Amino acid sequence: MRMSRFELRASASLASLFALRMIGLFLILPVFAVHATKLRGGESLTLVGLALGAYGLTQAMLHLPFGMASDRFGRKRVIILGLIIFAAGSFLAASANDIYWTIAGRALQGAGAISAAVVAFVADLTRDEHRTKAMAIIGASIGLAFAISLVAAPGLYRVIGMEGIFTLTGVMAIVGIWVTLQVVPPEPATRRTAAIGTPRKRLREIVLDPQLLRLNLGIFTLHLTQMAMFVVVPHALIQYGGLPVADHWKVYLPVVIGSFILMVPPVLAAERRRKLKSVFLGSIAVLALVEIGFAGFGKSFAVIVGLLLAFFVAFNILEASLPSLVSRVAPVSARGTAIGIYNTTQSLGLFAGGALGGWLAQHFGAGAVFAVSAALVITWGIVASSMTVPPLAASRTIPIGPVDDPERLRAALVSVNGVREAIVIPEHGVAHLKVLPGWDEGSVMKLVGGKA
């Protein structure tokens, strides 16, 4: 079964929000570590790493409140507010003349924490069986933004400088507001009804859910390793490849494009052949081998390029799989909350990767950055090996008669064997169900007044 046109439109338009925002963040990665040496205070690699990861810290603080707010007040309102804050941080960073004000601007950028609302919005508008594809579209948009950034950043830096790059980032956030208002589909009435009328699981239950804990550990580790790498990889390309910063795109562009091509067969196998866990664990294993390879053999230019290709293949697969799994595990009425927690740990990983990578590189060298990353990835793989992949739920819409107590009916429906979620909409005379294979349709029909 293919994605519907509506699902494709929803996925593509929301992915464009990620791309517009992430291209601004990624534009600084290839050039900032080198540029920072020209800033007052920029001679400290620890502060440079802090500037790279600062937005992750404020995102970590605000993803959960933004995700919960999107459950209560609506996805679009939260997305627009976040983009306004992100733009303000970009313009502050553009005006900075030392490393400290740059860190402040990056921190304000991170305060525009829209990721949970966007991912939850995608989950609202797509079916379970197409969720990984939708997340892969978002992952591809992020990867494309990364590729464009790697190609464009050196030239932009040469022409408009870091001030111009940060200003361009703010302008892209403003364009994202227009996309949200004019292109992204409206929020479904079913989600709004669920958020208002369905009691959310207690925050403690969502935080301590074992399945979600495994996934949150995964996204923390994945983004820690990504950010830590880019504290040292630009310098390695200069040292071992003889490439000036302006030519780094010659490595990054083919590597990122190649990784997109190579990730497609595993993603399709994960969905069509129900091999998600095998593909997931295999990608973690590749990631660990990449970090070990950098630690032991990362002094050859050809090896660096090969390892970067393998890294981005594994990274792209995991980046698509993790949010898909979170959206399937989390209850619909608390989906924004669960994804907010997930994105909080993601942002903590970004911050930790920048800060830890800079500190390790300054005090112990690049090899230590990769060795510590490898140990963390191996630990993640051990924890993930015991995860359970939830079965795909199908959507069903059941006609209902007059209802005196919608919440009571909803509670009765979700107690039926095989019914994972239920949204009762009396004014439309229907109940929307998420059901697992073998669900007890007869009991459902008795509850709604139909024939068993």
| Cβ-Cβ contacts under 8 Å for 206 (sequence gap 6 or more) | 212, 330, 334, 337, 338, 341
Q: What is the mean pLDDT of the chain?
A: 81
**Residues whose CB falls within 8 Å of the CB of residue 35, separated by 6 or more in sequence, listed in order:** 42, 157, 162
How far is C-alpha 442 from the chain's CA centre? 39
* 15 vs 438, residue with greater confidence: 15
Specify the range with the lowest mean pLDDT, choosing from 198-212, 223-237, 371-385: 198-212
- Chain length of the chain: 452
- Tell me if 100 sits within 8 A of 166, measured CB to CB: no
Which one, of 444, 447, 451, 389, lies nearest residue 418 by Cα?
A: 444
What single string gives the DSSP state of each residue in 376-387? HHHHHHHHHTT-
Q: Which two structure tokens, joined as six digits, stand for 271?
A: 């969905």
Least reliable range by pLDDT among 92-96, 195-199, 235-239, 258-262:
195-199
Nearest to 154 by CA among 234, 39, 236: 234
Please report the DSSP string for 161-208 in residue order. Answer: HHHHHHHHHHHHHHHHHHHHHHTSPPPPHHHHHHHHHSPPPPHHHHHH
Residue 165 has pLDDT above 90, yes or no: no
For every residue of 28-58, DSSP letters joined together read THHHHHHHGGGSBTTT-HHHHHHHHHHHHHH
DSSP 8-state assignment for residue 98? B
Top pLDDT among 16 and 426 is at: 16
For residue 298, how far is the Cα from the chain centroid?
28
Confidence of residue 265 (pLDDT cuts 50, 70, 90): confident
> How sure is the predictor about 452, in pLDDT bands with cuts at 50, 70 and 90?
very low
pLDDT at 333: 62
d(CA 359, CA 369): 9
| Higher local confidence (pLDDT), 452 or 259 | 259
Q: How many CB atoms lie within 10 A of CB 298?
A: 22
Q: What is the pLDDT of residue 278?
A: 86
Residue 220 is which amino acid?
A: F
pLDDT of residue 188: 66
Token pair 């004000």 is at which residue? 101
Separation between Cα atoms, residue 356 and residue 363, nearest integer Å: 11
pLDDT top residue among 18 and 304 = 304
Q: Is the pLDDT of residue 61 over 50?
A: yes
Phi, psi of 95 (to 5 degrees): -90, 0
Task: Look at strands 419-425 and 394-399 and give their pairing.
Answer: unpaired
**Residue 197 pLDDT greater than 50, yes or no:** no
- Give tens-digit pLDDT for 221-248: 999 998 898 788 888 888 888 888 777 7
pLDDT of residue 362: 85
The per-residue pLDDT for 198 is 39
- Find out whether 430 and 398 touch, Cβ atoms under 8 Å: yes
pLDDT value at residue 200: 47
| Domains and their CATH numbers in the chain | 5-384 (1.20.1250.20), 394-448 (3.30.70.100)
Tally of helices (H runs) and strands (E runs) in the chain: 17, 3
Structure tokens at 289: 């081998």
Percentage of the chain exceeding pLDDT 90: 16
Query: 297 Cβ partners below 8 Å, 6+ apart?
Result: 303
Reduced to 3 states (helix: H, G, I; strand: E, B; else coil), residue 402 is coil
Per the DSSP assignment, residues forming a β-bridge with 137 are none
Joined together, the tokens standing for residue 26 give 């990624």
The 10 Å Cβ neighbour count of residue 162 is 22
Lowest mean pLDDT among 172-176, 358-362, 393-397: 393-397
Look at the alpha carbons of 438, 439, 441, 442 in this order and tell me if their dihedral is positive or negative.
positive
The mean per-residue pLDDT over the stretch 161-170 comes to 87
